[in-house]
Structure 1
Amino acid sequence: MHRLLTMKRLSVLFLSIFAVLLAGMFAYENLVVAPGDRCETGGKWWDPETRICAQPISIAEITGRPNPGERAAASAAKNRELVAIEDSLALQQAARDVDRERQRAALAAEQN
């Protein structure tokens, strides 16, 4: 009796299917997964749908805001501006207080 699936044929069939699946796995790894990993290790963004490796752009560049390194300097400049405004307001208040006391003294001298 001549059988179609002998042990030798089954082992060859199993090993060939295993080899094809293993080759497919390595091909998938190298052609699909690896480009994304290489892109991300380079500090870029990987889009798996379009398979595009893009350079990220800072929001500060788009909106015209100061870069993160310049933020501290911009914040310090704004704080200095606020302190100057507060100082001028304090001087104006002091001038009003002096003028009020002068007017009170003049009114008190006029009434006596």
Structure 2
Amino acid sequence: MNRFLTARRIGGLFFGLFALLMVGLFIVQRFYVEPEDACVKSGRWWYAEGRTCVQPIYLPDITGRAEGVSRAEASAQQNRELVAIEDRLKREREARAAAILRDRKAYEAKLPEV
């Protein structure tokens, strides 16, 4: 009787399967794991969904606030600036209204009485 799965064939199949799995493991390591590790080691961010390495953008470059200033401090400073601007605009409106009132009285004083 001639058997298909002899000890030599089974050994060859296991060796072939092992070799195929090892090659697959090295391919996964080389093309899937190593790019992420290299990206993280270089200080950049690994974007897993797109499998890309991206450079993080420094937040003060976007917001324009000074380095080391917290968001709360920057917000408080901007609020103080806005209050100062609103106060200046209020004084300008009051000065304009007073000038209009002064000019109106001067104009009414020049009108002849009827």
TM class by shorter chain equals 0.5 to 0.7
Unaligned runs of 5+ in 2: 78-114
| Residue equivalent to 1:23 | 23
| Residue equivalent to 1:9 | 9
TM-score, normalization by structure 1: 0.60
The structural deviation recorded for 1:15 is 0.4
| Residue equivalent to 2:96 | none
Whichever structure has more helix as a proportion of its residues is 1
Unaligned runs of 5+ in 1: 79-112
Q: Distance in 1 between matches of 2:51 and 2:15?
A: 33
Aligned residues of 1:36 and 1:46 also touching (Cα < 8 A): yes
Moved over 6 A (4+): none
Q: Distance in 1 between matches of 2:67 and 2:53?
A: 24
| Residue equivalent to 1:58 | 58
| Residue equivalent to 1:48 | 48
Aligned residues of 1:61 and 1:67 also touching (Cα < 8 A): no
TM-score, normalization by structure 2: 0.59
Q: Distance in 2 between matches of 1:24 and 1:42?
A: 26
Q: Distance in 2 between matches of 1:67 and 1:27?
A: 43
The structural deviation recorded for 1:10 is 0.1
The structural deviation recorded for 1:67 is 1.6
Is the partner of 2:33 in helix, strand or coil? helix
Q: Which amino acid in the other structure matches residue 27 of structure 1? A: I
Is the partner of 2:53 in helix, strand or coil? strand
Q: Distance in 2 between matches of 1:15 and 1:49?
A: 35
Q: Which amino acid in the other structure matches residue 48 of structure 2? A: P
Q: Which amino acid in the other structure matches residue 52 of structure 2? A: I
Q: Percent identity?
A: 41
The structural deviation recorded for 1:58 is 1.3
Aligned length: 71
Q: Which amino acid in the other structure matches residue 12 of structure 1? A: G
